[in-house]
Amino acid sequence: MLRIAVQKSGRLSDDSLALIRECGISFISSSLKLKTESTNFPLEILFLRDDDIPGYVADGVADIGIVGQNVLVEEGKQDLSVEELGFSKCRLSLAVPKSAEYNSVKDLEGKNIATSYPNLLQTYLQEQGVTAHIHTISGSVEIAPSIGLADAICDIVSSGSTLISNGLKEVERVFKSQAVLIANQNLSEEKKAILEKLLFRIHAVQRAQRAKYILLNAPNEKVDEIISLLPGAKSPSVLPLAQEGWSSIHSVVNEDDFWEMIERLRDAGAQGILVVPIEKMIL
């Protein structure tokens, strides 16, 4: 049995549980329970505050966990990281009141900065050669300037709308973060084997998320040109259509470049293009 710690309720929770489910691991979750056990995989799930997850995994209370890199690095536990998971992407940024004059990070010299991430901020300021007074507060950092508690803040930003609605502007990006899978460094052989199985499934899910299955029809004389446009496709399938002189081409493409590619495929004579999601992808 492997124990995984996930955030009980917050910005990591839904995607963490969705990932576990996409790995084919079934469990019943209830907002009232602190732990649950999978019915078809040797996994027990603990629901915790995100800040507690790195410590619990380091101590072996949980074997693995899902947490933001911002929390992991802030707590100095980056050695536990085993896999970037690609969700809960955000950044830690410095922001100042909209009306404040700001030219460079040097303007923060001697200023008061409120944050929940004193270590990440301190590391950044040191790299920049700036000395400031860091005030550690645990929440509602964005209101600190308006109540006179600080000249600037250093907080998590994704779209920036919270900053704007608090009359602040983002001026420096301090740290980029996403969710990561972490693991205790002294797992038993049995637990390591379960973790390997889980990682195998996670990789299949991740590959599938980035990839799309593409099907299209083309006149036979255009098939070679169209195949040359399909990036990274080792060997697309080419099947004859019932209609004489036409073929159907099937391949897997990366989501990131498929829009641009679809234009080129159409220009090359492709018709009836279908793009469908892939659920799992095993190489």
Q: Binding of Zn ion at residue 50 (CB under 5 A)?
A: yes
DSSP calls for 84-143: E---S-EEEEEEEETTS---SGGGGTT-EEEES-HHHHHHHHHHHT---EEEE-SS-GGG
In the complex with Zn ion, the residue whose CB is nearer, 51 or 107, is 51
How far apart (Å, rounded) are the C-alpha atoms in residues 206 and 280? 8
Q: Binding of ligand ATP at residue 50 (CB under 6 A)?
A: yes
Q: Binding of ligand ATP at residue 177 (CB under 6 A)?
A: yes
How far apart (Å, rounded) are the C-alpha atoms in residues 218 and 264? 13
Sole binder of ligand ATP in the list 158, 185, 237, 271 (CB under 6 A): 158
Sole binder of ligand ATP in the list 68, 93, 113, 222 (CB under 6 A): 68
Alpha helices, H only, 60-117: 69-74
Q: Which of 77, 87, 24, 88 is nearest to 54 (CA)?
A: 77
Interface mask toward ligand ATP for 108-127; x: CB under 6 A: --------------------
Q: Which residue is nearest to ligand ATP (CB)?
A: 68
Q: Binding of ligand ATP at residue 176 (CB under 6 A)?
A: no
How far apart (Å, rounded) are the C-alpha atoms in residues 121 and 98? 21
Q: Binding of ligand ATP at residue 140 (CB under 6 A)?
A: no
In the complex with ligand ATP, the residue whose CB is nearer, 156 or 218, is 156
Residues within the interface to ligand ATP (CB under 6 A) = 7, 10-12, 49-51, 68, 70-71, 88, 90, 156, 158, 177
